[in-house]
Chain A
Amino acid sequence: MTAIKNGVAGFFAALGSFFGSFFNAIARGDAFVKLSLIIWGAGYFKRKQYVKALLMTLLEVGVILFSVFFAMQYVPKFGTLGTVQMEQVLNMQTMQMEFNDFDNSFLILLFSLFSFVVWAVAIVVWMRNVVNAYALQQAAEAGEHINSFKEDLRTFIGEKFHVTLLSLPVLGIVVFTVVPILLLIFVAFTNYDQQHMPPNALFTWVGLNNFKSLFSSGGMTVTFGYAFVRVLGWTLVWSFFATLTTYFGGILMSLLLNSKKTRVPKLWRLLLVITIAVPQFVSLLLVRNFFSNGGIVNTICANIGLTGFLRDVGLISTSYIPFLTAPGWAHVMIILINIWIGVPYQMLIATGVLMNLPTDQLESARVDGANKFQTFRYITMPYLLQVTAPTLVTDFVKNINNFNVIYLLTDGVYTTTNQLMANSQAKEVDLLVTWLFNLTQNYYNYKMAAVIGIMVFIVCAVFTLIAFNFVIGGDKEGTYQ
């Protein structure tokens, strides 16, 4: 756990030094530095950096205008998420029905959040600004050169080039990843669902109620707890088997193909890789019809008598084999089909690793008189496992979120017969992510989807932290430079 500890300690140390330099600047700065607490450009103005002073002051005005005219419409209502329900009222002047000035809970939540992010950034800029003003004062007192505006601009392709590079991508990540994640976390504490859909209805804060209903399973109506345990269980079982089967399948296949006995290995590899070169929405949708109840595989099985045999044994009670429509059968089939999709991919990775096998070790083993099996057992295998082991954990996490395989194979095909599962819109073959997707797409149950989303994050985070600390073992970045 040292990596995390260092990370946390480093974070607080950095935070501490940032605040330290801020208060230091206020205490020791001259009047203009102190003035730049109120007028952002003051410090720069004193040092004759007029353009910069103007820009900073304009930025300040922008933030104030944003706060007054935009944020103030939404943030004061953040505590209640709105109180005025949408209604149609008769406008006496035009004699027409019009909507009242109603509150939209979702917009209040979204724009409040947006305002918080803007303010957080503004506060950091404000503090940095004072620190910079003080640094300028010190430079001026020491008689050092003060950058002109042109020189300041030039630093953005010089020592501050990383700022230029990172600003746009980071903006994209903040708007399309960070704000949505925050939004989702907030939604988990509201009652945003089909009965509370803006703009027609309001939703509001409900505290931990959604989490309670996820962990309790009382009666026939509240079955989220019941479904959650089963879906989580299958998610973990699926990830475990999907990861292990494709990992070892891929290694075995690459060893098979890389053997000296193999003729035309490139052709074989090409043929196997075709499976993953075809997009999954084609290959998986096709396989799902391949194995459908009235599909070709079922016809063949019936013709060769397999269906009859299975019925006699008691494994099925239908006139067809329910490959993807009955629990148990579907679970096994999904894992098998995933082997079909996943093994070529792992084979490619393992092949890449095998090609980089250090030849000097193989050579010295040969000189020492090791036979083929010993070389394989003591050099090839350990090397392969050591290099690829970290991917086991990342693959496990990826499989927890392996939406495509489950959704494309079972959506619209598999219907659950378990009423308790159906009550919470879950199926036996659902992963947490497909359940979450269905809840939002078909049932508009955003509050529970958000709670499940947080659970998915926690599960993934736990496994990744384990991976980081035990398998990868800290940061190796430096050793490659």
Chain B
Amino acid sequence: MKSKKALGIFSHNLLIAVLCVIWLIPIVWLLCMSFSSSPSMNTSTFFPKEWSLTFYQKLFQPDTVNQFPMWFMNTFKIAVATCIISTCFVLMVAYATSFGKFKARKPLMNVAVILNLFPGVLTMIAVYFTLRTFGLTNSHIGLTLVYSASSGLGYLICKGFFDTVPRALCEAARLDGCSEARIFAQIIIPTSKPIIVYTIINSFLAPWMDFVYAKMILNAGISEKYTVAVGLYKMLDKSLINNYFTIFCCGGILVSIPIAVLFFIMQKFYVEGITAGAVKG
């Protein structure tokens, strides 16, 4: 009986292990390829024939195609700017819709639902026209605006959190003659750390993870202005892939590490935030 139970536990964990291996094969391959000593893709064996760090060095020696250090800085700048604007917007909208008692509250929220139905790519095209009119395509300001200007629409998860904050807290402060602005800044914000961390990481990660908007806005520009996503994508162009595949893998690994770390930090909040949002509709 005991051995049967042990066998059950073993096979259960073996199944999970097999699943994990399947899930990790491509990632392991990425890692292996990045240590390859030839610039093109190795199609005959899973592991590279020779291991080397050559292409990690090459990644930091910019040429006409590869501008990785530059791309990294570009993305970082855009991400910081986006993060600041988006976090403020999301918190402001979430607070106003959760705590505010004004007539237009419900209608505004309904409008937001409808606006969220238009796929991002769709509005993107018209935004692209508009930005082009003002000469903001192929510029980082334009891309930052695209990421952050409409971020107020993503307020629902944050509002879900604010909805659970006890109202008695505010009532007490109001009786003490506290203004709404002070309630927001000195009572609600300090008690909402988890959701603020979540919002900050989330809006910081968006420009790192995004591909579509960056491609659309920066496509026609010069290599130096690209973000990591667009730059790495261009490396896999049919005419370049034979010379740049290994560098792509190195870049992929290096950009994934900080993102993955932040992602794991966020994961805890992420699960809570999403399920909270799901429960509250």
Contacts and interface: CB of A to CB of B under 8 A. Distances in A.
A277 B256 contact: yes
Nearest to A272: B23
A283 B119 contact: no
A161 B115 contact: no
Interface in A204-262: 253, 256-257, 259, 261-262
Contact of B270 (A10, A348, A397): A348
B124 to A, nearest CB: 8
B150 A173 contact: yes
Interface string B240-275: 010001001100100110011001100100111011
Interface residues of B, number: 101
Contact of A475 (B8, B27, B219, B281): B281
Q: Is the interface of B mostly helix, strand, loop or mixed?
A: helix
Residue with the greatest number of chain A CB neighbours at <10 A, chosen from B145, B211, B256: B211
Interface in A331-356: 340, 344, 348-349, 351-353, 355-356
B64 interface: no
B232 A285 contact: yes
> From DSSP, what is the main secondary structure of chain A's interface residues?
helix
Contact of A477 (B45, B102, B163, B274): B163
B46 A296 contact: yes
Contacts of B128: 440
Interface stretch (B51-59, B65-73, B87-95): B87-95
Given A169-B89, A169-B152, A390-B278, A446 B256 contact: no
B121 A401 contact: yes
Given A279-B259, A352-B272, A457 B92 contact: no
B256 A433 contact: no
Contacts of B122: 181, 184, 433, 436, 453, 456-457
A175 B12 CA distance: 54
B26 A279 contact: no
A157 B89 contact: no
Interface stretch (A33-41, A69-77, A83-91, A287-295): A287-295
Interface in B88-119: 89, 92-93, 95-96, 100, 102-103, 105-108, 110, 113-115, 117-119
Given A172-B149, A282-B256, 20 more contacts: A10-B107, A110-B130, A157-B182, A161-B181, A176-B123, A259-B12, A268-B20, A271-B24, A273-B263, A277-B264, A278-B259, A283-B30, A296-B43, A348-B270, A348-B274, A349-B278, A388-B278, A401-B119, A408-B233, A436-B125
Interface of A: 7, 10-11, 14, 106-107, 110, 154, 157-159, 161-162, 164-166, 168-170, 172-173, 175-181, 183-184, 187, 253, 256-257, 259, 261-263, 268, 270-283, 285-287, 289-290, 294-296, 298-300, 340, 344, 348-349, 351-353, 355-356, 387-388, 390-391, 397, 400-401, 403-404, 407-408, 412, 433, 436-437, 440-441, 446, 449-450, 453, 456-457, 460-461, 464, 472, 475-477, 480-481
